[in-house]
């Protein structure tokens, strides 16, 4: 079977600046990591491959330096890696990103399952996975916490909901996005790290995947960030301390003063 | 802490960083529990094996990575920064395995080394006896030949990894009349009839590493269990120590580094008399001195390792003893001073430094006490001087 994992290189920190002009994140000069949710996606793909056989392809869209993230994917078990990179892609929103990814995946050809992290920790949109499935016209299931069974044309998964778990089945090919409950990602092995240094990463530009430049980048992205603001800080609460009797007395006192009891 | 660039090559940096990751992500969460409950960390053995680090020093043809004592030391150092007891699952195994690599025959290597590389078994080294510590020649354990077998009788004690290990390098007297040349080494498997384990010791430190007695009572082992030739035992043991002592030094260095890091972190945060205590000279100078000594020991360790790896059959008893001596003394000194820097907090189990001090002490004692190291060093020095004339 062929498993495709979509990965994103993200800033290693959550304290990141925002470009006032474009409303996009300032990524220059910040230490980067593989998006943590994508690690779970990759691990799941590698486990499935170990179980049923096949190959794992990691794919990313980003600047040339995203290659380091793809090499990390090889070290963690991916068999091959593809980087979609083109200056014209800069500023792509989730729609444009899903479109570019879908074009690259169409170019790859046959696949059975696409696995994405539930969201990236920088943009936090959780839209690219489902958007990609729509562009490819395949079913998708998000927030998957367990893949129970998989065979050549069918998958059964557990979806994490706020109030419980849904057990769902889908035909293949399909796309799933995964939550961190799904597995504990392995560490890269030394042999694979050495291999990852040497392996050739495939580069795709817009021309390679037949994408019209007007459909991607800032101009191809209908989403406009109007303004970015910090949420107001929630005022800190008051902690009542003491033994149980003292705490109860203080609480009753406060509530009655406030006219609530 | 940033250290000097010791011109590690790309793979050595990978090995160090990977070991650091394992220490931080996998070892740290279990260190308190393993210490408290005296639990052997099999999950770390498996993790090290899955990342190809457990057999780093084992030749490639036997499933290892074919690296040297330097790479092994880098891993032990990184693990020991977080937990020197857990690091022993690797270091203690290496002590049992080095004799197989250097003195084993093809079939012995084929039988055990791939299993070790895979992390499906750990090994142990058994020389010490109740009456034979530093004085190896007083070994009471005997091995007598009988119908193509050897029969082992005697008791080993203070054996690291005992009980958990599947394979034991055991030293026994085959011919008492021959003295130093009457000792032989054997590979004995757990489960062999007549081979049982005695009590598990309760220890000050390295508590996650089991220390037990091995009891041989009319234990019949095949002739093929002999390592090298009869009478080579003492030579095998001494040679093994020459190769393994930098591992103890790496463990000690790791402890010192880990402890100092805790001290720096604490001293920057802790405020007394209205300022961080690191702004007090009595604290900051102590840290400065320890940091300098750590770098000096590291420089020596890496050099000794490179010397060994450049010619593993060469002579390096002196250098190996020197680095073990200095590193272990520094680990003890550093951990004691670091507890003082943390004051009352350092004495409590909420901080890891009291454990680091408990773990540090053994590095001055095992694989030859530091007094024995000094004997080795001066013997080598006298020999060098005698040669000059």
DSSP assignments along A107-132, one per residue = HH---SEEEEES--TTT----HHHHH
For an interface test with B, give the residue of A33, A46, A187 to mutate (most B CBs within 10 A).
Answer: A187
Q: What is the mean pLDDT of residues A2-8?
A: 95
Answer yes or no: are the C-beta atoms of A59 and A105 closer than 8 Å.
yes
Q: Which residue of A has its CA nearest to B66?
A: A191
pLDDT band at A236 (very low <50, low <70, confident <90, very high): confident
| A-chain residue closest to B67, CA distance | A190
Chain B positions touching A194 (Cβ under 8 A) are 11, 14
Q: Looking up tokens 């269990």, which residue turns up?
A: B225
DSSP 8-state class, residue A8: -
Closest chain B C-alpha to A17 CA, distance in angstroms = 27
Nearest-Cα residue of chain A relative to residue B10: A194
User: What is the predicted ipTM?
Assistant: 0.86
How close, in Å, is residue B18 to chain A by CA atoms?
8
| CB contact burial B338-372 (16+ within 10 A = b; e otherwise) | bbebbeeebeeeebbbbbbbbbbbbbbebbbebeb
**Structure-block tokens of residue A220:** 């191809």
Beta-carbon separation of B50 and A193 below 8 A: no
Distance from CA of B63 to the nearest CA of A (A): 11
pLDDT confidence bin for B18, thresholds 50/70/90: very high
Specify whether the CB–CB gap between B71 and B57 falls below 8 A: yes
Quick check: A23 pLDDT over 90? no
Q: What is the reported pLDDT for A19?
A: 76
Which residues of chain A have a CB within 8 Å of the CB of B18? 187-188, 190, 193
**Which residue among A189, A194, A197 places its CB closest to the CB of B50?**
A189
Is this prediction's pTM over 0.90? no
State how far the alpha carbon of A146 is from the alpha carbons of A180, A182, B149, in Å.
10, 5, 55
**Run of H or E including B267:** helix B233-269
Exposed e or buried b per residue across B55-73, where buried means at least 16 C-beta atoms within 10 angstroms of its C-beta? bbbbeeebbbbebbbbbbb
Q: Which residues contact A253 (CB under 8 A, 6 or more apart)?
A: none
Is A16 within 8 Å of A48 (Cβ atoms)?
A: no
Structure tokens at A15: 């304290």
**What confidence score (pLDDT) does residue A17 get?**
75
The arithmetic mean of pLDDT across residues B99-120, rounded, is 97
B171-191: average pLDDT: 95
Both tokens of B271, joined, read 């405020």
- The answer to whether B52 contacts A197, with C-beta atoms less than 8 Å apart, is no
Catalytically annotated residues of B: 367
The shortest C-alpha distance from A188 to chain B (Å) reads 6
How many residue pairs from chains A and B have C-beta atoms closer than 8 A? 30
Distance to chain B for A179, nearest Cα, Å: 20
- For A54, A121, B41, the CA distances from B51, given in Å and listed in that order, are 22, 27, 16
Q: Please state, for a pLDDT cut of 70, what percent of chain B lies above it.
A: 99
Where b means 16+ CB within 10 Å and e means fewer, B146-175 reads eeeebbbbbebbbbbbbbbbbbbbbbbbbb
Provide the 3-class DSSP secondary structure of residue A253: helix
For the residues A215-242, what does the mean pLDDT come to?
A: 84
Task: Give buried/exposed letters for B313-335 (b at 16+ CB in 10 A, else e).
Answer: eeebbbbbbbbbbbbbbbbbebb
Tell me which of B28, B47, B51, B55 to substitute to probe the interface with A (most A C-beta atoms closer than 10 Å).
Answer: B51
Cα–Cα distance, B217 to A136 (Å, whole number): 71
SS3 of residue B200 by DSSP: strand
Measured CA to CA, the distance from residue B78 to residue B1 in angstroms comes to 12
Alpha-carbon torsion A245, A250, A253, A259, what sign? negative
Structure letter (DSSP) for residue B271: E
pLDDT at B326: 98
A193/B25 CB distance under 8 A? no
Neighbours of A195 (CB within 10 A): 14
Per-residue DSSP letter, B42: H
User: How far is Cα A17 from Cα A133, in angstroms, rounded to an integer?
Assistant: 31
- pLDDT (average), residues B237-260: 97
E strand or H helix at B102: helix B84-103
**Nearest-Cα residue of chain B relative to residue A189:** B51
Terminal-residue alpha carbon distance, chain A? 65
CB-CB neighbors (< 8 A) of A190 in chain B: 11, 14-15, 18, 51-53, 56, 65
Angle at Cα B322 formed by Cα B316 and Cα B326, nearest 5°? 155
CA distances from B238 to B185, B233, B235, B245, B321 (A): 12, 9, 5, 10, 11
CA dist A218 → A180, A205, B55 (Å): 31, 17, 51
Q: What does the alpha-carbon distance between residue A108 and residue B268 come to, in Å, rounded to a whole number?
A: 54
User: Are A80 and A2 in contact, with CB atoms under 8 Å apart?
Assistant: no
Contact B79/A at CB under 8 A: no
**What totals of helices (H) and strands (E) does chain A contain, helices first?**
6, 11
Residue in B11, B26, B53 nearest the CB of A194: B11
Q: Which of helix, strand or coil describes residue A259?
A: coil
Q: What angle do CA B55, B61, B64 make, to 5 degrees?
A: 10
CA distance A105 to A22: 28
Check: CB of residue B143 under 8 Å from CB of residue B173: yes
Sign of CA dihedral B218, B220, B226, B231: positive
Q: Sort residue B236 into left (φ over 0), alpha (ψ -120 to 50) or beta.
A: alpha
- Give the chain A residue whose CA is nearest to the CA of B24: A187
Q: Give the helix/strand (H/E) hosting B236.
A: helix B233-269
Report pLDDT digits (tens) over A59-84.
Answer: 999 999 999 999 999 999 999 999 99
pLDDT tens by residue, A182-209: 999 999 999 999 999 999 999 999 999 9
Q: Which range has the worst mean pLDDT, A211-225, B276-290, B345-359?
A: A211-225
Confidence of residue A145 (pLDDT cuts 50, 70, 90): very high
pLDDT in tens, B308-350: 999 999 999 999 999 999 999 999 999 999 999 999 999 999 9
pLDDT band at B3 (very low <50, low <70, confident <90, very high): low
> CA–CA separation, B154 vs B227, rounded Å?
18
Binary contact (B52, A186; C-beta < 8 A): no
- DSSP state string for B111-161: HHHHHHHTTS--EEEE--BTTBSS-GGG---EEEEETTEEEEEEEEEEEET
Residue range B188-245, pLDDT digits in tens: 999 999 999 999 999 999 999 999 999 999 999 999 999 999 999 999 999 999 999 9
CB contact under 8 A, A191 and B14: no
User: For position B2, what pLDDT does the model report?
Assistant: 54
Mean pLDDT of B283-301: 97
Please tell me whether the peptide bond between B276 and the residue prior to it is cis, using omega within 30 degrees of 0: no
Site from B26, B52, B54, B57 to mutate, A interface, most A CB atoms within 10 angstroms? B52
Q: How far apart are CA B126 and CA B157, in angstroms?
A: 8
Q: Mean per-residue pLDDT for B74-86?
A: 98
């Amino acid at each position: 079977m062929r498993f495709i994992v979509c990965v994103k290189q993200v800033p290693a920190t959550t304290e990141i600046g925002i470009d006032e002009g474009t409303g996009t994140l300032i990524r220059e000069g910040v230490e980067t990591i593989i998006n943590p949710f994508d690690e779970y996606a990759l691990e799941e793909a590698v486990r499935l491959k170990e179980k049923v056989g096949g190959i794992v392809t990691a794919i990313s869209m980003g600047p040339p330096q995203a290659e380091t993230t793809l090499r990390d994917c090889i070290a963690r078990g991916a068999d091959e890696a593809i980087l979609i990179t083109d200056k014209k892609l800069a500023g792509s929103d989730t729609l444009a990103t899903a479109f570019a990814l879908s074009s690259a995946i169409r170019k790859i050809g046959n696949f059975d399952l696409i696995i994405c992290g539930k969201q990236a920790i920088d943009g936090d949109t959780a839209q690219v996975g489902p958007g990609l499935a729509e562009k490819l016209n395949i079913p998708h299931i998000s927030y998957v916490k367990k893949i129970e069974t998989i065979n050549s044309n069918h998958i059964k998964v557990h979806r994490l909901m706020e109030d419980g778990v849904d057990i769902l089945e889908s035909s293949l090919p399909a796309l799933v996005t995964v939550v961190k409950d799904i597995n504990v990602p392995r560490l890269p092995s030394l042999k694979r790290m050495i291999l990852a240094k040497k392996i050739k990463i495939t580069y795709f530009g817009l021309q390679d995947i037949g994408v019209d430049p007007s459909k991607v980048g800032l101009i191809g992205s209908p989403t406009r960030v109007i303004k970015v603001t910090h949420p107001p800080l929630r005022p800190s609460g008051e902690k009542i301390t003491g033994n149980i009797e003292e705490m109860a007395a203080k609480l009753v006192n406060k509530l009655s003063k406030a006219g609530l009891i | 802490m940033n250290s000097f660039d010791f011109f590690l090559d790309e793979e050595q940096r990978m090995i160090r960083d990977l070991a650091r990751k394992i220490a931080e992500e996998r070892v740290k969460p279990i260190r308190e529990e393993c210490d408290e409950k005296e639990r052997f960390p099999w999950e770390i053995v498996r993790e090290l094996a899955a990342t190809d680090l457990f057999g780093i020093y084992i030749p490639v043809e036997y499933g290892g990575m074919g690296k040297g004592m330097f790479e092994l030391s880098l891993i032990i150092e990184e693990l020991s920064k977080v937990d020197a007891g857990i690091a022993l699952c690797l270091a203690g195994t290496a002590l049992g395995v080095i004799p197989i690599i250097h003195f084993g025959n093809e079939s012995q290597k084929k039988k055990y080394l791939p299993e070790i590389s895979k992390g499906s078994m750990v090994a142990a080294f058994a020389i010490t006896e109740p009456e034979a510590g530093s004085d190896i020649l007083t070994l009471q354990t005997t091995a007598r030949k009988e119908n193509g077998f050897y029969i082992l009788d005697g008791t080993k004690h203070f054996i690291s990894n005992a009980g958990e290990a599947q394979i034991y390098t055991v030293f026994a007297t085959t011919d008492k009349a021959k003295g130093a040349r009457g000792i032989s080494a054997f590979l004995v498997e757990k489960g062999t009839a007549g081979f049982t384990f005695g009590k598990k010791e309760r220890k000050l430190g390295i508590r996650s590493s089991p220390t037990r007695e091995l009891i041989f009572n009319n234990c019949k082992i095949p002739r093929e269990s002999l390592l090298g030739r009869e009478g080579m035992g003492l030579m095998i043991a001494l040679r093994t120590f020459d190769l393994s002592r930098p591992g103890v030094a790496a463990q000690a260095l790791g402890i010192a580094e880990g402890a100092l890091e805790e001290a720096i972190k604490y001293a920057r945060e802790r405020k007394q008399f209205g300022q961080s205590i690191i702004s007090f000279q009595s604290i900051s100078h102590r840290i400065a001195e320890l940091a300098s000594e750590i770098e000096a020991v590291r420089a020596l360790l890496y050099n000794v390792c490179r010397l060994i790896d450049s010619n593993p059959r060469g002579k390096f008893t002196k250098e190996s003893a020197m680095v073990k001596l200095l590193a272990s003394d520094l680990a003890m000194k550093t951990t004691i001073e670091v507890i003082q820097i943390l004051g009352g907090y350092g004495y409590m189990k909420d901080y890891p430094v009291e454990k680091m001090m408990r773990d540090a002490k053994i590095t001055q004692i095992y694989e030859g006490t530091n007094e024995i190291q000094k004997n080795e060093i001066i013997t080598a020095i006298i020999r060098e001087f005698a040669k000059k004339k």
